[in-house]
Amino acid sequence: MKSNRQPDRAMQSYFQVYVKGVIVACIVALLLFAILALLITYTNISESIIPAGILAILSISGLISGVYVGANLKTKGWLNGILIGFIFIGFIFLIGSILNKEILFELSFLYKLIIGIAAGGIGGMIGVNLK
């Protein structure tokens, strides 16, 4: 009798890659947020750059996680990148909602979601094409 274990392993592999991709994105984001905080604290940089800095950090993190997922899955980089960007921004939104104890769907969330999806998609395409 033939075993149907192969699809389970494939799904488990995808799940593991996505989880690791979100972890990579979170670590990159935390490091970049720490650098931004240090720059604002110890230099003459104005606090008015915080919103732009957040968008830049989220896009860099989404790009790197997209590259990670694309390089590991080696197929459909744009789709896997879009998915990891969406999952990453959704995870950030979920954590923020838990910490703030309220859920706020604002226009800024939509911007972050679009940037995360776009950066992840681009990163996925780059990751698939890495040798």
Report CA-CA distances (Å) from 69 to 41, 51, 116: 34, 27, 14
The whole-model pTM stands at 0.85
pLDDT tens, position by position, 90-129 = 999 889 888 887 777 778 888 999 999 999 999 999 999 9
Rounded CA gap, 22 and 90, in Å? 10
- φ, ψ dihedrals at 128, nearest 5°: -65, -35
Q: Is the pLDDT of residue 11 over 70?
A: no
All structural domains of the chain with their residue ranges: 8-128
Calculate the alpha carbon distances from 17 to 45, 65, 91, 106 in Å: 37, 10, 15, 30
Average pLDDT, the chain: 88
Mean pLDDT score, 8-17: 75
Confidence of residue 71 (pLDDT cuts 50, 70, 90): very high
Q: Is the pLDDT of residue 61 over 80?
A: yes
